[in-house]
A and B are shown apart, each in its own frame.
Chain A
C-alpha cells in the first residue's frame, strides 16, 4: 500500500472518532471552536464518502486497482483480522450518512446543541457507528459498530431531557439492549459453527455446512434476522419507533431517519452474501415480504390516525421500512436498484421532514392545537356564512411562511411518492419491477406490493393534507421566525431529492451497478479473501 489515498476506507471511522474525542477536550465556553471542528469533520467525511463512491462507481482512479476496496485493519488479512470493505452499496450509504449528518448537524447548531451537554461528540460518535456498520466486513465488528451507534443514539435521544424523551428513550434502550443480546447470541452461534467471523469467509463456508451444523447456523442467522428486523422497524417489533422518534430533538430525529436503514442494509448485505449458499430464513423470502406488508399496513394506519406531525413522520419512517422489506422479500433481483433509490429518497425526505416539523410547530399558536381528526369529525369551526361576500381578501404571507409551506409540500410529495420528485421515480421503478414480477415469478405477491405502494401513498396523502391544512391554514398563527441555519439544511436536503429526480438517469446507472455487484456476491467474497495482509 502506498500513498495516503490507500487509507481512505478507514477515514469515515477514524475522522469522527478523533473529532468527537477532540470536542470533548474543548471547553464548553469555546462553542464556536467546537462547532467548527464538528462541521469540518463532517464535511471531510462527506468528501471522503463522495470520493469512495466515485472510486467504487468506477468514476475515479482506484488506488487499490478495482472497484471493491478491502482495508485490513491492523494489517491482518481476512479471515483472521477485521476488514473494511467498500463496494458501491457501502459507499452509497456512506454518502447518505455524511450528507444527512452534515445537514442535521448544521441544523442543530442553530440552537439544539445547547439543549444539553456533549451533543456534538455524541453526534460524531453516531456517525462513526453508522459509517463503521456500513463499512465492516466482519460479523463481530458489525456488532461493535451497532453498539457504537446505539450507545450514541441513546445519548442523542435523551438529549434535551424532559419526561417524554426519557420515557421513550428508556423504552428504546431496553428494546435495543435485548436486540443486542440476540445479536451477540447469533454471532456466537455462527462463529461456533463456521469458525470464522469474516462475512465473506462465512459465505464461502456456508455451502459446506450440512446437517445439524447448517441448522445451528440458520438459528444464529435467524436471531440476527430478528435483530435486523427490530432495527429496521418491522411490525410487530417496531412499537418503540414512533414514541422515540417523535419525542427526540428535531436534528436527532432527522439523523435517526437513517437508523432504521442500517437494519435494512444488514439484511441486504448478509442476505445477498449468503445467497449462493442458501439464504437463511428472514434474509429475504416470504417471511420478510409478509412482515414488510404488515409494516406498510400498520404504518399507513398510523399515518391516518396520527394527530401530531411528529407521530405522522414516525409512521412515515415505518412505511418506508415496510416498503423496503417487502421489496427485498420478493423473489427477483429487479427491485434492487429502485429499492435503493427509494431508500435514499425516503431517508433524505423523512430527515428533512422531522426538522421541518419542528420549525412549523414552533411557530404554531395555541389555537391550532385542536386535534385534526376531531376537527374533522365534528366539523368544528365552520362559521362561514354562505351568503356573505365571497371576495374576502387574503392575508399577506411573509417569505418564511412560503418557505415552510413549500418545503412541507415537497416533503409530502416525497413521502407519498407523488410526482415529480425522487419519491415518485423510486416508487415508479418499484411498481415497474413488480409488474415484471407479476408477469413472471410472483404474480400474487407483486400485485400485493403494487397495491400496498399505491395505497400507502394515498394514506400518506390524506394524512399529510389533513395535517398540513390544519397546521398551515388555521387562522390563528403567529408570523414564524426562521434562521437561515435552520432553513438552509432542510432546503438542501430537499434540493438533493430534486437533484435525485432530475438526475435519475445517472443515479439509476450507479444503482444498477450497485445491484449488480450486490447480486454477484462472489466478487465481494473474492475481493475480501484475496486481499493481502501480513497474516498470510
Chain B
C-alpha cells in the first residue's frame, strides 16, 4: 500500500499544482515540497522492511489477458534509487522556490516537476517490464516539457525536441527489447525475468533484445554516440538540470542496465557494446567538458563522462564493478546536483553563466564558492570526498580486469586520461568563475543568495564530505542492501575504507590529479574558441541533418508514390481492379465452358448495334461536345429500355425510361452552367501525350472487354440453385402481389428500397446545398445567345400565358398536368400487381413539373404554386419508415407487411396493405428529390438574372 502511495503522491501533487493560479509561487512550493518530503519519508520508512523481507511487492490487476499488471516491486537497489529520487526532489523544490522568478508561470513548472518525480519513481519501482517502459517514456515526456519550460526561447524549444526525439526513440527500442525479453521469459514480471537469465542469454533472440534494451539505456543516459542531446537540454531552468539531467532521469539508463545486469550481463556482446559506449562517453565527455564556455555546459559534458564511467563499470561483467557503479551513481548525484545549484546561483545573481565573463566571484559570494569548491573537488576525485572513493574503485577495476593484454593496458590508461580531464575541467570550473580578478560589467552585481537557496547545496556538500570521510558508517549499509539485491549470493567482498595502501589505483589518482593541473595550465594559454580534434563531431548538426533529410526525403518519396491528380487515382483503381481480377485466374481450375450464344434476332442485333454506337459516341464526344454526348447517352439508355422490354421486363423498361428522361433533362439544364471548353486544339500533340492516350485507350479496352466477357460468362452459365425461384413462387401467396418485381422492391427486399430512397433524398439535398452556394464561371454568366436575341421582358406573373412563341406549348403542357397526375397515381396504385409502382409514378409526376418549369418559366410557376420539395422528401421518408414501424404494433419485425382485406360500402372490395404506404413514401420522395434538383438548377439562372441588374446599377 505504501508502495502505491509513493507513486501516487507525486502524481496527485502534480494534479493539484496544475490547477493553481499562475502567481501562487509560495503555495506551489509548499505543495510540491510537502509532496516530495512525504514521499521521501515514506520511502525512508520502508528501510526496515527492505532489510527484513528483501523485496516488497504490491500489484493491481490491469489487463491480465495481455500479460499486463500494474505491479510495484521494491528491493534494496530500488529503495536506494527511490530514496535518491525523492530526497533530491525535495531539495530541488526548495532550491527552485528561490530560483524561479515571480513572473514565471510556476504551476506548470511544479506540475511537470512532480509528474516527472512520479514517473521516475515508477521506473524505479516497476515490477513489470512493460510498465517500466511506460514510465520510462513518461519521464522523457516530462523532461521535454520541463526543458521547453521557457518555450518562447528557440534554444529551449530545440533542446526539448532533440531530447524527446532521442530519448523517445530509445524508449521505443526499449519497449521492443522488453517485449522480446518478456516473450523469452514467458512473462513480463520482473521477478520471473530476473530468474530467467540463463534462458535469455542462451536464446537466439538475445542479441536483438540486448541491442534494443541497451539502445534505450544509452539514449536515456546520454551515452556516446547519443550524448549530444544532454548539453542542449541545459536550456531548461537550472533546478530541472540539477534534478533531471544530472541526478535522476539520466541515471535511468544506468539504473536499467544495473537492474537487468543479472539477466543480460556476462556475455562478450554485453562487454563490447556497453563497455565501449561507456569508455567512449567517459573520455569524450570529459574532453569536451574542457572546452565549454557555459558553466552548465561543463557540467553537462561532465555528466556524460561520469555516466560513461558508470556504464563502463557495468559493462565489465564483474560483480565488484557493479558495486562501484552503484556507489558512483549515488556519489555523482550528490556532487553534481550541488554543482548545478551553484551554477544556477551564479546565473541567478549575476545574470550570466558565460565562463569567459565571470571571474573572482569568491569575494562577492564566499559561501557559494566554498560549496562549489568542495563539490568540484569531489567531482575531480580529491581524497576525503565521496567522488574519490568510487573513482578509486573504478581505477582498481580497470587494473584488475581479466581481459586480454591490450585491453588490460588500454583501459587503465584511458581511465587515467579521463581522470586528468576531469581534474582539469573541475579546476577550470572553480578557478575561472570564483577566483581571479573580480569581473566587471556583469548584467547584475553579484551577491550571496538567500540562505534557503544555499541550504540544499550545503546539505549535499555535507553529504559528500561525510561519505568521503566515513564511508563505511554512512553509505555502507545502504550500498550493501542495494548490491545484495542485485547480485544476491554472488555479492563480492569489498571494503569502503579510504586508505588501501600505496597501490596502483592510488598512483593513477595522483597521476590524474597532477596531470589535470598541468593540463589546466596549458589550457589557460589557449585563446581559440574551438574544440581541438573533435570539432567536427557535432551531434546536433547530425541530428538536424537527419531531421531535415527525413522530411525532404519523405516529400520526395511522396511525390513519386502519391499523386494529387484524379486521373492518376482513377487509373490506378482500374488497373488494380484489372490486376486483381487476374489473381483468381492464376489458380488452375477446370470447368471454363463457353456456351454458344446462338444467332440473335436481327432486330435485336440492330438495336444493340445502335446502342453500342451511341455509347462509343458518348465517350468520343464527351470532351468537346457535351450536348452531343448527352444526347447519344440518351440513345444508349433507350436501347437498354428496349432490351428490357424485349426480354419481357416491362417494369424495368418503364423505370429505365422515366429515369432516362429525367436524368437527361436535368443534365441538360445543368450543361448551361459548365465552364466553356477551350476548343483550340493544339496543332501538334507531344509524343508523351500520345503515348499516354494509347495507354489509357488500351486499359479502357481491356477493362471494358474483360467486363463484357465476365458478364457474358455469368449470363450464359446454367443458373444454379438460388433464392430467385422463391421470389417467383411466393410473390402472390406470401407477398400478396402479382408483380414480382414490385413485391421484391417493397416487400421481400423493402429494406434495400428504404436505403435507396434515402440515397436519392440525400443526393437531392446535397445538390441543393451545393448549388445554393454555386458561383458559375464568369464566361457562363452572360445570357445565352437565344436569350439575347429575344430580349425577353421580365416575366409577368399575372399573365395567364407567356407571350410570344411559348404560348402554345404552355397551353399544352398545362393540359398535360392533371392527366400526368392521374397517370402517376394510377402507376402508384396498380404497382403491386402490374407494371408500375411508386418509383415510376413519382418520376412521371416529376416530369410534368419539370415541363411546367421549362415552358412556363420558374417565376411564373412558383408564383402560382409553392412546392416544398424538401418536405416531400422528408414526408416520403417518414411515410416509408412509418410503414415499416407499423409492424411493431403487431409485434412483427420492421417492414413486415400488414394487409387488410375487406369491403367498404360504396367502394366495394378493397385490399389495403402497409406496402401501399411504403410505396407512397417512395412516390413522394422521388417527386421531392427530382423537383428539388430541378429547383436548385432553375434558381441558378434566376439568381444570375438578379445579379445582372444589380451590377448594372452599380455601374
Contact = CB atoms under 8 A, between A and B. Distances in A.
B68 A504 contact: yes
Given A116-B769, A141-B752, A305 B555 contact: yes
B591 A7 contact: no
A50 B144 CA distance: 39
A462 B562 CA distance: 21
Nearest to B18: A402
Nearest to A211: B591
B417 interface: no
Contact of A389 (B171, B443, B563): B443
Interface stretch (B490-498, B683-691, B759-767, B902-910): B759-767
Contacts of B66: 338, 425, 428-429, 432, 504, 508
A89 interface: no
A128 interface: yes
Contacts of B891: 1-2, 6
A432 B66 CA distance: 8
B547 A390 contact: no
A171 B748 CA distance: 36
Contact of B874 (A24, A80, A373): A24
Interface in A152-167: 152, 154-155, 158-159, 161, 166
B912 interface: no
Interface string B712-737: 01110101111110110010001000
Given A118-B765, A178-B570, A376-B551, A20 B755 contact: no
A468 B715 CA distance: 58
Interface of B: 18, 22, 61-68, 101, 103-105, 108, 130, 133-135, 137-138, 141, 144, 148-155, 157, 160-161, 164-165, 168-169, 171-173, 175-176, 179-180, 182-183, 347-348, 351-354, 357, 443, 544, 547-548, 550-555, 557-558, 561-564, 566, 568-570, 572-574, 576-577, 580-581, 583-585, 587, 589-593, 707, 710, 713-715, 717, 719-724, 726-727, 730, 734, 747-752, 754-756, 758-759, 761-763, 765-766, 768-770, 772-773, 870-871, 873-875, 877-878, 881, 884-885, 887-888, 891-897
A473 B148 contact: yes
Contact of B354 (A179, A240, A387): A387
Contacts of A338: 66
Given A17-B881, A140-B752, A432-B183, A373 B551 contact: yes
Given A14-B884, A155-B765, A215-B589, A431 B544 contact: no
5 contacts: A21-B875, A74-B749, A82-B749, A435-B180, A535-B734
Nearest to B580: A222
A93 B896 CA distance: 27
Given A236-B572, A393-B104, A475-B152, A24 B773 contact: no
A214 B717 CA distance: 13
Given A81-B749, A161-B770, A282-B580, 14 more contacts: A7-B888, A75-B895, A118-B768, A140-B749, A148-B758, A151-B766, A192-B717, A193-B720, A194-B722, A219-B710, A239-B572, A390-B351, A454-B173, A469-B157
Interface residues of A, number: 156
B584 A302 contact: no
Interface string A1-31: 1101011001000100110111011000000
Interface in A368-399: 372-373, 376-377, 379, 381-384, 386-387, 389-397
Contact of B894 (A7, A24, A145, A387): A7
Interface string A402-421: 10000001000100001110
A271 interface: no
Given A75-B896, A215-B584, A377 B552 contact: yes
Q: Is the interface of A mostly helix, strand, loop or mixed?
A: helix
Contacts of B751: 73-74, 81-82, 141
A81 B743 CA distance: 12
Nearest to A226: B577
B573 A179 contact: yes
Q: Which residue, of B347, B572, B759, has the highest number of chain A Cβ atoms within 10 A? A: B759
A428 B551 contact: no
B153 A419 contact: no
B758 A128 contact: yes
A458 interface: yes
B183 A439 contact: yes
Contacts of A225: 580
Contacts of B108: 394, 397, 402
Contacts of B138: 419-420
Contacts of A14: 881, 884-885, 894
Interface in A218-265: 218-219, 221-223, 225-226, 230, 235-237, 239-240, 243
A57 interface: no
A32 interface: no
Contacts of B769: 116-118, 155, 158-159
B591 A212 contact: yes
A182 B577 contact: yes
Nearest to B921: A21
B152 A158 contact: no
A142 B723 CA distance: 18
A424 B157 CA distance: 25
Nearest to A235: B561
Given A222-B580, A225-B580, A116 B773 contact: yes
Contact of A195 (B171, B176, B179, B722): B722
A39 interface: no
A298 B67 contact: no
A391 B164 CA distance: 23
Contact of A17 (B101, B352, B752, B758): B758
A281 B161 contact: no
A461 B170 CA distance: 13
Nearest to B758: A148
A219 B66 CA distance: 39
